[in-house]
Protein backbone atom coordinates (compact mmCIF):
# COMPACT_ATOMS: atom_id res chain seq x y z
CA UNK A 1 0.00 0.00 0.00
CA UNK A 2 1.53 3.33 -1.06
CA UNK A 3 1.94 6.15 1.41
CA UNK A 4 0.08 9.42 0.96
CA UNK A 5 2.14 12.42 -0.09
CA UNK A 6 3.16 14.52 2.92
CA UNK A 7 1.09 17.63 3.56
CA UNK A 8 3.16 20.73 2.93
CA UNK A 9 2.32 24.16 4.27
CA UNK A 10 3.64 27.70 4.03
CA UNK A 11 3.85 29.15 7.52
CA UNK A 12 6.32 32.04 7.26
CA UNK A 13 7.27 34.79 4.83
CA UNK A 14 10.65 33.10 4.43
CA UNK A 15 9.00 29.85 3.36
CA UNK A 16 6.81 31.76 0.92
CA UNK A 17 9.88 33.44 -0.53
CA UNK A 18 11.49 30.01 -1.05
CA UNK A 19 8.35 28.77 -2.83
CA UNK A 20 8.26 31.88 -5.02
CA UNK A 21 11.85 31.36 -6.11
CA UNK A 22 11.10 27.73 -6.99
CA UNK A 23 8.01 28.85 -8.89
CA UNK A 24 10.04 31.37 -10.91
CA UNK A 25 12.32 28.55 -12.04
CA UNK A 26 9.22 26.75 -13.40
CA UNK A 27 7.48 29.88 -14.68
CA UNK A 28 10.05 32.66 -15.36
CA UNK A 29 7.27 35.16 -16.18
CA UNK A 30 6.74 35.50 -12.43
CA UNK A 31 10.14 37.16 -12.06
CA UNK A 32 8.83 40.55 -13.20
CA UNK A 33 5.74 40.26 -10.98
CA UNK A 34 7.90 39.36 -8.00
CA UNK A 35 10.07 42.40 -8.71
CA UNK A 36 6.94 44.57 -8.64
CA UNK A 37 5.06 43.16 -5.63
CA UNK A 38 7.73 41.45 -3.49
CA UNK A 39 6.75 38.74 -1.01
CA UNK A 40 2.96 38.97 -0.52
CA UNK A 41 1.26 38.87 2.87
CA UNK A 42 0.33 35.30 3.86
CA UNK A 43 -3.05 36.57 5.11
CA UNK A 44 -3.30 33.65 7.53
CA UNK A 45 -6.55 33.14 9.42
CA UNK A 46 -7.45 30.87 12.35
CA UNK A 47 -8.62 27.32 11.72
CA UNK A 48 -12.02 26.08 12.76
CA UNK A 49 -15.73 26.74 12.80
CA UNK A 50 -15.55 30.49 13.33
CA UNK A 51 -13.47 31.12 10.20
CA UNK A 52 -15.97 29.27 8.01
CA UNK A 53 -18.91 30.95 9.72
CA UNK A 54 -17.37 34.35 9.07
CA UNK A 55 -16.79 33.43 5.41
CA UNK A 56 -20.46 32.47 5.10
CA UNK A 57 -21.63 35.68 6.73
CA UNK A 58 -19.54 37.73 4.32
CA UNK A 59 -20.64 36.05 1.10
CA UNK A 60 -21.99 38.56 -1.48
CA UNK A 61 -21.81 41.44 1.01
CA UNK A 62 -19.62 44.51 1.17
CA UNK A 63 -16.78 44.44 3.67
CA UNK A 64 -18.58 47.02 5.83
CA UNK A 65 -21.91 45.15 5.82
CA UNK A 66 -20.22 41.83 6.64
CA UNK A 67 -18.25 43.42 9.49
CA UNK A 68 -21.41 44.97 10.92
CA UNK A 69 -23.33 41.69 10.92
CA UNK A 70 -20.36 39.81 12.35
CA UNK A 71 -20.08 42.31 15.20
CA UNK A 72 -23.76 41.86 15.99
CA UNK A 73 -23.36 38.09 16.03
CA UNK A 74 -20.36 38.38 18.35
CA UNK A 75 -22.22 40.76 20.67
CA UNK A 76 -25.12 38.29 20.80
CA UNK A 77 -22.76 35.37 21.46
CA UNK A 78 -23.86 33.63 18.26
CA UNK A 79 -20.52 32.55 16.79
CA UNK A 80 -20.28 29.03 18.28
CA UNK A 81 -22.07 25.84 17.15
CA UNK A 82 -23.61 25.32 20.59
CA UNK A 83 -25.13 28.79 20.82
CA UNK A 84 -26.34 28.81 17.23
CA UNK A 85 -27.96 25.41 17.72
CA UNK A 86 -29.80 26.59 20.80
CA UNK A 87 -31.19 29.78 19.25
CA UNK A 88 -34.07 30.22 16.82
CA UNK A 89 -34.08 31.62 13.30
CA UNK A 90 -35.73 34.87 14.41
CA UNK A 91 -32.81 35.63 16.70
CA UNK A 92 -30.37 35.05 13.86
CA UNK A 93 -32.47 37.18 11.51
CA UNK A 94 -32.39 40.03 14.04
CA UNK A 95 -28.60 40.14 13.64
CA UNK A 96 -28.98 40.86 9.91
CA UNK A 97 -28.78 37.36 8.44
CA UNK A 98 -30.95 36.46 5.47
CA UNK A 99 -33.09 33.34 5.32
CA UNK A 100 -30.57 31.79 2.92
CA UNK A 101 -27.60 32.60 5.17
CA UNK A 102 -29.38 31.08 8.14
CA UNK A 103 -29.91 27.88 6.15
CA UNK A 104 -26.21 27.78 5.29
CA UNK A 105 -25.16 28.35 8.89
CA UNK A 106 -27.54 25.65 10.13
CA UNK A 107 -25.97 23.24 7.63
CA UNK A 108 -22.47 24.08 8.88
CA UNK A 109 -23.54 23.40 12.47
CA UNK A 110 -25.31 20.16 11.55
CA UNK A 111 -22.26 18.74 9.76
CA UNK A 112 -20.31 18.95 13.03
CA UNK A 113 -16.91 18.99 11.30
CA UNK A 114 -13.94 17.70 13.27
CA UNK A 115 -11.54 20.53 12.48
CA UNK A 116 -8.54 18.85 14.11
CA UNK A 117 -8.97 15.89 11.76
CA UNK A 118 -9.67 18.20 8.83
CA UNK A 119 -6.27 19.83 9.37
CA UNK A 120 -4.44 16.58 8.59
CA UNK A 121 -6.54 15.46 5.61
CA UNK A 122 -5.27 15.76 2.01
CA UNK A 123 -6.45 18.82 0.10
CA UNK A 124 -9.04 16.95 -1.95
CA UNK A 125 -10.59 15.42 1.18
CA UNK A 126 -10.77 18.83 2.85
CA UNK A 127 -12.59 20.19 -0.20
CA UNK A 128 -14.91 17.17 -0.25
CA UNK A 129 -15.74 17.59 3.46
CA UNK A 130 -16.35 21.33 3.29
CA UNK A 131 -18.37 21.38 0.06
CA UNK A 132 -20.77 18.85 1.59
CA UNK A 133 -22.03 21.80 3.66
CA UNK A 134 -24.84 23.79 2.01
CA UNK A 135 -23.45 27.20 1.12
CA UNK A 136 -19.79 26.22 0.88
CA UNK A 137 -18.53 25.97 -2.69
CA UNK A 138 -15.13 24.98 -3.98
CA UNK A 139 -13.81 28.56 -3.85
CA UNK A 140 -14.61 28.91 -0.12
CA UNK A 141 -13.06 25.50 0.57
CA UNK A 142 -9.91 26.52 -1.30
CA UNK A 143 -9.71 29.77 0.68
CA UNK A 144 -9.85 27.71 3.87
CA UNK A 145 -7.10 25.43 2.57
CA UNK A 146 -4.89 28.35 1.65
CA UNK A 147 -5.46 30.87 4.43
CA UNK A 148 -6.51 28.76 7.43
CA UNK A 149 -4.53 25.57 6.79
CA UNK A 150 -1.67 27.22 4.91
CA UNK A 151 -1.52 24.51 2.24
CA UNK A 152 1.18 25.07 -0.35
CA UNK A 153 -0.41 23.88 -3.62
CA UNK A 154 -3.75 25.68 -3.99
CA UNK A 155 -4.78 27.72 -7.03
CA UNK A 156 -8.33 29.06 -6.99
CA UNK A 157 -9.16 28.88 -10.71
CA UNK A 158 -12.65 30.37 -10.16
CA UNK A 159 -11.29 33.52 -8.52
CA UNK A 160 -11.78 36.71 -10.56
CA UNK A 161 -8.55 38.38 -9.43
CA UNK A 162 -6.50 35.29 -10.25
CA UNK A 163 -8.10 35.10 -13.70
CA UNK A 164 -7.27 38.76 -14.39
CA UNK A 165 -3.73 38.34 -13.07
CA UNK A 166 -3.21 35.21 -15.16
CA UNK A 167 -4.60 36.95 -18.25
CA UNK A 168 -1.89 39.61 -17.88
CA UNK A 169 0.80 37.09 -16.97
CA UNK A 170 0.18 34.93 -20.03
CA UNK A 171 -0.71 37.93 -22.25
CA UNK A 172 -4.09 36.46 -23.14
CA UNK A 173 -6.78 38.39 -24.99
CA UNK A 174 -9.52 37.20 -22.63
CA UNK A 175 -9.80 35.98 -19.07
CA UNK A 176 -9.07 32.25 -18.98
CA UNK A 177 -11.83 29.84 -18.08
CA UNK A 178 -11.27 27.70 -14.97
CA UNK A 179 -10.44 24.75 -17.23
CA UNK A 180 -7.93 26.78 -19.25
CA UNK A 181 -6.37 28.20 -16.11
CA UNK A 182 -5.99 24.76 -14.59
CA UNK A 183 -4.23 23.54 -17.72
CA UNK A 184 -1.99 26.61 -17.95
CA UNK A 185 -0.86 26.30 -14.33
CA UNK A 186 -0.55 22.54 -13.91
CA UNK A 187 3.24 22.76 -14.12
CA UNK A 188 3.33 25.18 -11.16
CA UNK A 189 2.62 22.32 -8.74
CA UNK A 190 3.64 21.97 -5.90
CA UNK A 191 4.02 25.77 -5.63
CA UNK A 192 0.59 26.90 -6.75
CA UNK A 193 -0.23 28.69 -3.49
CA UNK A 194 2.75 30.97 -4.11
CA UNK A 195 1.28 31.54 -7.58
CA UNK A 196 -2.11 32.42 -6.08
CA UNK A 197 -0.63 34.92 -3.65
CA UNK A 198 1.51 36.54 -6.34
CA UNK A 199 -1.43 36.81 -8.74
CA UNK A 200 -3.62 38.41 -6.07
CA UNK A 201 -0.88 40.93 -5.31
CA UNK A 202 -0.37 41.49 -9.04
CA UNK A 203 -4.09 42.10 -9.51
CA UNK A 204 -3.93 44.82 -6.86
CA UNK A 205 -0.94 46.36 -8.60
CA UNK A 206 -2.74 46.28 -11.97
CA UNK A 207 -5.80 47.96 -10.47
CA UNK A 208 -3.65 50.76 -9.12
CA UNK A 209 -2.20 51.51 -12.53
CA UNK A 210 -3.99 54.52 -13.95
CA UNK A 211 -6.29 53.80 -16.84
CA UNK A 212 -5.81 50.04 -16.89
CA UNK A 213 -9.17 48.21 -17.17
CA UNK A 214 -9.42 45.12 -14.95
Specify the number of domains making up the chain: 2
Judge if 87 and 138 occupy the same domain: yes
Q: What residues have CB less than 8 Å from 181, skipping those under 6 apart?
A: 155, 157, 162, 163, 166
Judge if 114 and 32 occupy the same domain: no
- Containing domain of residue 136, as a range? 49-148
The model's pTM is: 0.90
Mean pLDDT of 63-72: 95
Judge if 76 and 123 occupy the same domain: yes
- Here the CATH number for the domain that contains residue 140 is 1.10.340.30
Q: Is pLDDT above 50 for 1?
A: no
Q: Which of 148, 177, 196 is the last residue of a domain?
A: 148
Q: How far is CA 152 from CA 27, 64, 84, in A?
A: 16, 30, 33
Residues classed as catalytic: 159
- Taking residue 95's Cβ as centre, other Cβ atoms within 10 Å add up to 20
Q: Which of 148, 166, 188 is the last residue of a domain?
A: 148
In a domain, 7, yes or no: no
Instruction: Round to whole Å and give the CA distance between 97 and 31.
Output: 44
pLDDT digits (tens, 9 = 90+) for 75-124: 999 999 999 999 999 999 999 999 999 999 999 999 999 999 999 999 99
Judge if 132 and 81 occupy the same domain: yes
Judge if 57 and 132 occupy the same domain: yes
- Here the CATH number for the domain that contains residue 33 is 1.10.1670.40
Amino acid sequence: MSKSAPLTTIDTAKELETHIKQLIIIEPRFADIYAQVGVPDLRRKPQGFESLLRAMVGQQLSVAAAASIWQRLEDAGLTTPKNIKSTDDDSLRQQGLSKQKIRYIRSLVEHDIDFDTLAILPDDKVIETLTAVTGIGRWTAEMYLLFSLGRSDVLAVDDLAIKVGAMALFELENRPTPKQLKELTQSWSPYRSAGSLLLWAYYGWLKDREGLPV
